[in-house]
Amino acid sequence: MTLIAILIATLAAGIGSVWLAAGLMSVGLTAQAAGGRSRVDAQHLLSLAAGALMATSFMHLLPEAFESQAGAKALFATLLVGLVFFFLLDKAELWHHGHEHHHESPPGHGHAHGDDHAQHHREPRAGGWAVLAGDSVHCFGDGILIASAFIADMRLGLVASLAVLAHEVPHHIGDLVVLRQTSGNRQAALMKVSLAGAATAIGGLTGWWLVDRLRDDLPYFLVVASSSFIYVALADLIPQLQKRLSARETLAQISWLLAGIALVTVVSSFAH
Is pLDDT of 53 > 70? yes
pLDDT score, position 106: 43
Average pLDDT estimate for 106-114 = 39
For 37, other C-beta atoms within 10 Å of its C-beta total 7
Q: What is the DSSP string of 27-76?
A: TTSSS--TTS--SS-HHHHHHHHHHHHHHHIIIIIHHHHHTSSS-HHHHH
- Over the stretch 149-187, which tens digit does the pLDDT of each residue have? 999 889 899 999 998 998 888 878 877 877 777 666 788
| Predicted TM-score of the model (pTM) | 0.70
Smallest CA-to-CA distance from 125 within 174, 63, 187, 196 is with 174
Smallest CA-to-CA distance from 148 within 202, 227, 224 is with 224
Q: What percentage of the chain carries pLDDT values higher than 70?
A: 77
Contact present, 128 and 178 (Cβ < 8 Å): yes
Q: What percentage of the chain carries pLDDT values higher than 90?
A: 25
**DSSP assignment letter at 113:** -
Cα 7 to Cα 158, 164, 194, 199, 221: the distances in Å are: 12, 14, 15, 11, 18
The pLDDT mean for the chain works out to 79
- At residue 11's C-alpha, the angle toward residues 10 and 16, to 5°, is 115
Give the range among 60-64, 187-191, 226-230 with minimum mean pLDDT: 187-191
